[in-house]
Structure 1
């Protein structure tokens, strides 16, 4: 299924295109306006990491070519992070160290989110992982965390039902972040 996408230039375009769609989805204003994810460098990294994990999760069991694709997507993502850090003014001597730290944090997020999505995970495991990682040191409203949890579960389900070849070739089904409904807004 992936073999036709893995010609060198086609492969690089596919990786770049998918990464661009990940970043675009992570920049949706609803994350900041509806779920109150911190609109900071860290908050934006967390959203990109979350969406990259969702896509890599979908592709991971599709064979060795998909594993190579996920690695290329990871490499592209962290090359972009390297570039962004340089543009933010991080010194050349510190960029490598910072990128290595970000990669370590990314793997930590993957482990937390993967564990939270297992069938035998505690019912609040995903909410806890999102609170701890996505919201960092802020004290989010539990309703904001619940909004993000519902979004992540809906996104994972949509991606699970989407054919991998279409995911690589075009935009994937991306459920919009739904505003939480207060008692007054339902009346």
Structure 2
């Protein structure tokens, strides 16, 4: 599982899943330009929103829970969000300062979504403390994953990091293959490194499709 050759995750030009920048003409274009709709910041924010929707399309749907034998809890979904945010932020850093700035917009969108999820889970009191604690977990996990990907890291370091951060604290059963998610994360990281800048900044990519046992298209 997840041992096939990595490939770009960019969507084909004719893919119906692509989201293109809107193009307006005449007075509407003029007014939008005055309102900075076409500014670099506005384009980056729109692109970051699409990227985050790609993350949610992988994290919020049943296949990832079925494939990895996970229970869909707040903690588990949050852990998967962090893992996929790390994958995207890691790739964006390859684009230097521009990628880091884009990643900041992505993080702000993620942070707003997490705050909504915490509120939806019924946490209204001490919300600020919850968010600070989740922020610490976010950065702690990202450092652990990044360290595990260093050339001199131990062979099983990513497996151990994923086990500690995703599985070990909520009593989830050990997955059928403990290293499966580590192989998935490593492969997605390689695939994203092969995904071009335009696809990353526009959100026109999709994570590898996971196929559950009930998937009619499963080979």
TM class, shorter-length: 0.7 to 0.9
Equivalent position to 1:24, from 48, 52, 57: 57
Distance in 1, matches of 2:180 and 2:155, equals 15
Residue of structure 1 equivalent to 2:40: 7
**2:16 is matched with which residue?**
none
Alignment TM-score, normalising by the size of structure 2: 0.73
Relative to the length of structure 1, the TM-score reads 0.84
> Which gives a bigger RCO, structure 1 or 2 (Cα 8 Å, sep 6+)?
2
Q: Which of 102, 111, 115 is the matching residue for 2:134?
A: 102
The structure 2 residue matched to 1:153, chosen from 169, 182, 186, is: 186
Q: Tell me the distance in 2 between the aligned counterparts of 1:6 and 1:130.
A: 39
| 8 Å contact kept, 2:71–2:172 | no
Corresponding position of 1:144: 177
> After alignment, is 119-128 or 136-145 more displaced?
136-145
- The structural deviation recorded for 1:109 is 0.6
Give the secondary-structure state (helix, strand or coil) at the position aligned to 1:144. Answer: coil
Give me the CA root mean square deviation: 2.1
Whole-Å Cα distance in 1 between the matches of residues 46 and 134 of structure 2? 24
1:127 counterpart residue number: 159
Matched residues in 1 for 2:172 and 2:76: separation? 13
Relative distance call for 1:112 and 1:38 in structure 2 (3 A) is: farther
Bigger Cα displacement from structure 2, 134-143 vs 74-83:
134-143
Higher gyration radius (CA): 2
The corresponding residue for 2:217 is none
More moved, 25-34 vs 38-47: 25-34
| Structure 1 gap ranges (5+) | 180-187
Unmatched segments (≥5 aa) in structure 2: 1-37, 213-219
**Greater helix proportion:** 1
Q: 1:6 Cα shift?
A: 5.5
